[in-house]
Amino acid sequence: MHGQFIWYELTTPDPDAAQKFYPRFTGWGTQKFDSDYSMWTTGGVPFAGIFRLGPEMRAQGVPPNWMPYVETNDVGKTAELAGSLGGKVVTGPTDIPGTGRFAVLQDPQGAVFGIYKPNGQSQAWDGTPVVGRFSWHELMTTDWKAAWEFYQKLFGWERQSEMDMGGGNLYAMWGKGRMFGGMFNRPPEMSSMQPFWLVYIHVKDVGKAMDIATKAGAFVQRPRLEIPGGTIAILGDPQGAGFALHDLSAGGMTAATAAKAPSRAKTKSASKARPAKKSVPKKAAKKAVKAAAKKTGTKSAKKTRRTVSSAAKKSAKKSAKTSARKSAKTSARKSGKRSAKRRR
């Protein structure tokens, strides 16, 4: 359905290590797509992809990261609308023979994400918490009200609740019937970071999952936190890609749960994507590239990735401020490859 999250991609320098790391606490399985791309599965159904962060992307400053894709009724029209609302089209729209059509976009504040329309039946997430799936999507931005207006017009998301995070900073929650996630303004200590999306994996027990993950090499960015309705924690995998965990004790993530989760969310991939000082453009580019590269697994996607990376380089050169653009472009390449592969 239009506006629901439908795919995720992990861009990492070591796909083999990632395929050993995540299943330990998520229960995920994997399916080989080709020599360049693999897919994560839950219950035997693919829901995300894995793409290698190669030397070329590393040279551009692209870091390991996760990037989400949102389903749309019409990729072309949604991409045009995004542009008219102040966003940018990083790559695409591109057709993936026999699977669907996708594009990678960047919102007005600089956060990168993808859009996708499958040819067949949709496997998008409807907002129902399911162990082993991503079940919360969080945007840290510079102006959440402006960002909200952009996404609401793009996907028809509904604003459902808000919570004061302190200091007048609000955490806004949204979705379609059920809650999909939240958004908030980045705090002063994260001013060097570009806006980005952080995805949460729903697990049975955050404490146990954290213990397993850290013993397997993960680093903790935000310790386990008890919140109304469950528990959350923010980590980074051994290769540096940031992700979050949450469990539910009362049947769903509540407003309070969501509100507390993001306020201090800071992961290695996030900080890289929101470059600090000299590495700003490079880090942002890394994040975008990774996510993008993952989704597009076909040869055409690979070409897209190359195009995006060169574009990202150019934007990064133009200014540190356009780092988000660069990351987006780079990401786009990746996403292009990954989405293509996965959707085949």
Q: For the segment 268-298, what is each residue's pLDDT rounded down to a tens digit? A: 333 333 333 322 333 333 333 333 333 333 3
Question: Is residue 67 pLDDT above 90, yes or no?
Answer: yes
**Percent of the chain clearing pLDDT 70 (strictly above):** 72
Please tell me the predicted confidence (pLDDT) of residue 17.
Answer: 97
Of the segments 21-25, 98-102, 279-283, which one has the largest average pLDDT value?
21-25
Fold of 5-122+283-343: 2,3-Dihydroxybiphenyl 1,2-Dioxygenase; domain 1 (3.10.180)
Cα 47 to chain centroid distance, Å, stands at: 13
Q: Mean pLDDT throughout 72-100?
A: 93
- Judge whether 92 and 102 are in contact, CB under 8 Å: yes
Return the percent helix, strand and coil in the chain, to nearest 5: 35, 35, 30
Q: Where are the domains of the chain?
A: 5-122+283-343, 134-273
Q: What pLDDT is stored for residue 52 in this prediction?
A: 93
Q: What is the pLDDT of residues 302-330, one digit of tens each?
A: 333 333 333 333 333 333 333 334 444 44
- List Cα–Cα distances, 39 to 36, 62, 153, 234, in angstroms: 11, 21, 31, 23
Distance (Å, rounded) from C-alpha 27 to C-alpha 29? 7
pLDDT in tens, 182-236: 999 999 888 888 899 999 999 999 999 999 999 999 999 999 998 778 999 999 9
The CA-atom distances, in angstroms, between 151 and each of 77, 106, 107 are 14, 11, 8
Of 205, 266, 213, 201, the residue nearest 239 (C-alpha): 213
Averaged pLDDT for residues 21-30: 97
The sign of the dihedral angle between the CA atoms of 155, 158, 107, 306 is negative
Q: In the chain, which residue ranges form alpha helices assigned H by DSSP?
A: 15-21, 23-26, 55-59, 75-84, 144-155, 206-215, 255-260, 268-273, 280-294, 299-318, 323-343
DSSP 264: T
CATH code, residues 134-273 = 3.10.180.10
pLDDT in the model for residue 249: 80
User: Do the Cβ atoms of 237 and 19 come closer than 8 Å?
Assistant: no
5-122+283-343 and 134-273 share one fold = yes
pLDDT at 245 over 70: yes
Query: Which two tokens mark 224?
Result: 């386990």
Q: What is the CA radius of gyration of the chain?
A: 18
Query: Residue 269: its pLDDT value, please?
Result: 39
Query: 240 has which bridge partners?
Result: none
The band of 177, judged by pLDDT with boundaries at 50, 70 and 90, is confident
Q: What is the mean pLDDT of residues 334-341?
A: 44
pLDDT exceeds cutoff 50 at 71: yes
Q: Tell me the pLDDT tens digit for each residue of 161-174.
A: 988 888 778 999 99
Which whole number is the average pLDDT over 140-149?
Answer: 96
In whole angstroms, give the CA distance from residue 179 to residue 198: 15
Task: Identify the band that residue 259 occupies on the pLDDT scale cut at 50, 70 and 90.
Answer: very low
Three-state secondary structure of 288-340: HHHHHHHCECCHHHHHHHHHHHHHHHHHHHHCHHHHHHHHHHHHHHHHHHHHH
